[in-house]
A and B are shown apart, each in its own frame.
Chain A
Amino acid sequence: MIDQSPAIILLAPFLLAILLALLGIKREWLCFPLVITGLAISVAASVVTLMRVIDEGTIQYLFGGWEPPFGINLRVDGLNALVALAVSTVSLLTAIYSKRAVPAETSDKVSQFYTLYLLSVTGLLGIVLTGDAFNLYVLIEISALTSYALIGMGSKRATLAAYKYLIMGTIGASFYLLGVGYLYIKTGSLNMYDIQEQIVANDLLGSPTILVAFILIMVGVWIKMAFFPLHAWLPNSYTFGPSTTSTLLGPLVTKVMIYVMIRMILTVFSPEFAFDQLDWSNIIVWMSVIAILAASISALAQTSLQKMLAFLIIAEVGYMVGGVWLADEMGIVGSIYHIIADAFMTLCVFLFAGIIFTKTGRRDLSAMEGLFTKMPLTMVGFLVGAFSLIGIPPTAGFFSKWYLIQGGISSGHYEYVAALLISSLINAVLFFRIIEIAYFGTKPAEGHGHHHEEERKDGPTEASFSMLFPLLITAALLIGIGLYNQEVVAIITDFVSQFNIGATIL
């Protein structure tokens, strides 16, 4: 059974989704346990797979027993084993959170919601694991369709946002599909590794078709990951959808798409092509710099917590795209580490936002008033997430910034370093604004306000355990990933170093 582990990662949630669709309609109580089971299995499987990858190296899983390129295969190496683990863990934690939130927000659609939820996760995991370029497209569409629906279940505005997302998403996905077509017409193959071999064999690196294919795929993926000028769909979708939806999609979708970009650059087109032959690093790094700054500044302008976080996601996307296009080994390692770190940071703050929303039913910042006394534990969780986004040691965010900046310096892109620092300062402003509101209240007393030993008027009214638990776990994970960053980075470095890009790692 152990050698089935890569497939189980995504087949477990898939199977459970179908069972849930069949059994869950009449028996609502069944939904939650089924979801948890499926995702728990998936997490376990991804841990096993990661272990196997660490000691066996790359794992192949052939569907239908057909050798690639004839059949479709899962190809798991250090990169996607890590990302898959992150994806499954995040979705499990979100699922735990959703226990109370889903019945509250999407009443009498619980079973449909969870079916879509599981299928969405399946899609994301499939994207991460597959070794076949076309199969990737199918799974992109699955995760996209499910997310349209998951968002569309929200309020009035959510429907509109979902529609916009649908249009943009379809353009993105179609561009990707076209890109694959352009690759196919020149190489006649669909398997990522085989495509690479064909490109090398018939030395196609010079051919305009491959170039156009590359552009198409990049643009498609950028639309999907909301890279700055193409981000219009994201903020509203994550603001007005059900809180569980944004908690699931916020951390994952963009990160997975960044994974796709890295995979395409490194595996399909090869770094020589992307970085050396077409020397676009400067342009794209500058684009990402603009992305980071613009997104951070517009985050400052937001009064709604969810929307602010949505813009932060866009800024983080800028980090990672820039990091990859530094065309420097350290930069790529940093971006990959940031994929994982950022998945959990974003999860952490979105969980917080969700908790606040379900507790107070409000999205504006003033809803945080006096939370330090009301919900101390929740605030602890939030603080860790916030510090991580700001980049304060020893949270994971600090180290991902560390590696990214290191890459920026060693590749001489100081504008990128500057952007990174400015945005983390802006994050500091954003989050300390929230902390101030939570600590002082919106209008603190003139003069020495509480100058005497006061009894707390209202004791702590913490969120329910099912919401608090994932938050605190995430916080713990953030610190864990931070302290043990070397282990993670070691795996990533093993993967990246085989491409010997730019400067060698210190």
Chain B
Amino acid sequence: MKSFALIAVVLTGWLLLSAVSDFPDWGDTESPANDYRLSQHYITETFPETSVPNMVTAVLADYRGYDTMFETVVIFVAGIAIMSILRRKPLDHLKDKGKETRTYKKDPDLIIDTTCRLMIPIIQLFALYVVAHGHHSPGGGFQGGVIFGASFILLALSRDLQAAQRWVPEKRVLNLAGIGILIYSGFGFACMLLGSNFLDYEILHKIMPATPIEARSHSMLGVEIGVAFTCTAIMFSIYSNLASNGDMKETL
């Protein structure tokens, strides 16, 4: 196996390198990729066409919004996949879990517990900012969502899975994730219903107080929020499933 791997690797490497000399230099502004009308258009026309200064977000959520929708789906799929691979039986022990009957596996360490108490809200606030301001400054749904999810993971780490489960139990996770995608595709289907193409936000100015161009930027915010929902939910679900080997009891 080793030798075979070596041969394969050497061959592939040689193949890949053989083309490198043909590449434009690194950072060359004249390289086809940078000089072609595609990237030019994205840089110069994004703001006029969508009134969004952050080109990445604009390309992500509008020009290539269709891609991004399926990107969200990829995350969603990962969540469900992991769940369905690891899950052994329906989670009965989660159903009958009321607030009073919650017991910690271990009594929480004071320092850790307090720090996390303080930090988690701030983290979540920052996550919201990243999402909301995604189309003006670096950020966006994925980033924000991941940060938000991380806050719950931190909670789970500082206490235990049960504690985090109280905030985002299994069922809520799935609903959040689904709703996230529903929001995203909802914008698309709304455009279809209004008689335009899927994800053609411009038409939405009919139903939102904005000019067609602003409609695009508003809708981008909307879809980013949808993405954030899914990311948040699935990030946490991936963690909790992997950490608890799928049965949502105590972590490993």
User: A and B: direct contact (Cβ < 8 Å)?
Assistant: yes
Given contacts A18-B185, A64-B62, A185-B31, contact A142 B70 (CB under 8 A): yes
Docked pose: A7 CA to B15 CA in angstroms: 38
Q: Does B35 contact A (CB under 8 A)?
A: yes
Q: Does B114 contact A (CB under 8 A)?
A: no
- Considering the complex, give the chain B residue whose CB is closest to the CB of A132: B67
- Considering the complex, give the chain A residue whose CB is closest to the CB of B24: A185
- Name, among B81, B83, B181, the residue most crowded by chain A CB atoms within 10 Å (CB to CB): B81
Chain B residues whose CB sits within 8 angstroms of the CB of A138 once the complex forms: 67, 70-71, 74
- Considering the complex, give the chain A residue whose CB is closest to the CB of B202: A65
Across the interface, do B70 and A149 meet the contact criterion of CB distance under 8 Å? no
Chain A residues whose CB sits within 8 angstroms of the CB of B178 once the complex forms: 18, 21-22
Interface hit among B85-93, B123-131, B149-157: B85-93
Q: Does B199 contact A (CB under 8 A)?
A: yes
Select one of A72, A153, A188 contacting B84, CB under 8 A: A153
Chain A residues whose CB sits within 8 angstroms of the CB of B32 once the complex forms: 185-188, 198, 202
Interface majority SS (helix, strand, loop, mixed), chain B: helix
Contact with A along B109-123 (1 / 0, CB 8 A): 000000000000000
Select one of B65, B67, B84, B185 contacting A109, CB under 8 A: B84
B92 to chain A minimum Cβ distance, whole angstroms, is 11
Q: Considering the complex, which residues of chain A in the window 344-373 have a beta carbon less than 8 Å from any beta carbon of chain B? A: none
Across the interface, do A70 and B87 meet the contact criterion of CB distance under 8 Å? no
Across the interface, do A215 and B15 meet the contact criterion of CB distance under 8 Å? yes
Interface hit among B99-107, B140-148, B190-198, B237-245: B190-198
Chain A residues whose CB sits within 8 angstroms of the CB of B70 once the complex forms: 123, 126, 135, 138-139, 142
Chain A residues whose CB sits within 8 angstroms of the CB of B34 once the complex forms: 188
Across the interface, do A113 and B84 meet the contact criterion of CB distance under 8 Å? yes
Across the interface, do B84 and A145 meet the contact criterion of CB distance under 8 Å? no
Across the interface, do A182 and B73 meet the contact criterion of CB distance under 8 Å? no
Given contacts A65-B196, A71-B63, contact A119 B77 (CB under 8 A): yes
Chain A residues whose CB sits within 8 angstroms of the CB of B168 once the complex forms: none
Docked pose: A159 CA to B86 CA in angstroms: 10
Q: Does B201 contact A (CB under 8 A)?
A: yes
Q: Does A193 contact B (CB under 8 A)?
A: no
Select one of A64, A141, A178 contacting B74, CB under 8 A: A141
Chain B residues whose CB sits within 8 angstroms of the CB of A184 once the complex forms: 33
B33 to chain A minimum Cβ distance, whole angstroms, is 4
Across the interface, do A72 and B64 meet the contact criterion of CB distance under 8 Å? yes
Chain B residues whose CB sits within 8 angstroms of the CB of A15 once the complex forms: 185, 189
- Name, among B23, B35, B36, B185, the residue most crowded by chain A CB atoms within 10 Å (CB to CB): B36
Q: Does B16 contact A (CB under 8 A)?
A: yes
Q: How many A-B residue pairs have CB under 8 A?
A: 163
Q: Considering the complex, which residues of chain A in the window 377-431 have a beta carbon less than 8 Å from any beta carbon of chain B? A: none
Across the interface, do A185 and B33 meet the contact criterion of CB distance under 8 Å? yes
Q: Does A134 contact B (CB under 8 A)?
A: yes
Chain B residues whose CB sits within 8 angstroms of the CB of A48 once the complex forms: none
Interface hit among A204-212, A272-280, A299-307, A465-473: A204-212
Q: Does A4 contact B (CB under 8 A)?
A: yes
Across the interface, do A189 and B36 meet the contact criterion of CB distance under 8 Å? yes
B232 to chain A minimum Cβ distance, whole angstroms, is 16
Docked pose: A141 CA to B77 CA in angstroms: 10
Across the interface, do A64 and B199 meet the contact criterion of CB distance under 8 Å? yes
Q: Does B213 contact A (CB under 8 A)?
A: no
Given contacts A119-B73, A142-B77, A146-B77, contact A66 B63 (CB under 8 A): yes
Across the interface, do B74 and A142 meet the contact criterion of CB distance under 8 Å? yes
Across the interface, do A153 and B85 meet the contact criterion of CB distance under 8 Å? yes
A11 to chain B minimum Cβ distance, whole angstroms, is 7
B192 to chain A minimum Cβ distance, whole angstroms, is 6
A223 to chain B minimum Cβ distance, whole angstroms, is 12
Chain B residues whose CB sits within 8 angstroms of the CB of A208 once the complex forms: 18-19, 21-22
Q: Does A319 contact B (CB under 8 A)?
A: no
Across the interface, do A65 and B81 meet the contact criterion of CB distance under 8 Å? no
Q: Considering the complex, which residues of chain A in the window 181-234 have a beta carbon less than 8 Å from any beta carbon of chain B? A: 182, 184-190, 198, 202, 207-209, 211-213, 215-216
Name the 10 nearest CB pairs between A and B, nearest first: A188-B36, A149-B81, A65-B200, A63-B66, A112-B84, A212-B19, A22-B178, A188-B32, A188-B33, A209-B19
* Other A-B pairs beyond A11-B189, A69-B38, A72-B64, 18, CB < 8 Å: A7-B197, A7-B198, A14-B185, A21-B174, A21-B178, A61-B197, A64-B197, A64-B201, A65-B196, A70-B41, A115-B80, A116-B77, A138-B67, A146-B77, A148-B81, A152-B81, A188-B32, A207-B22
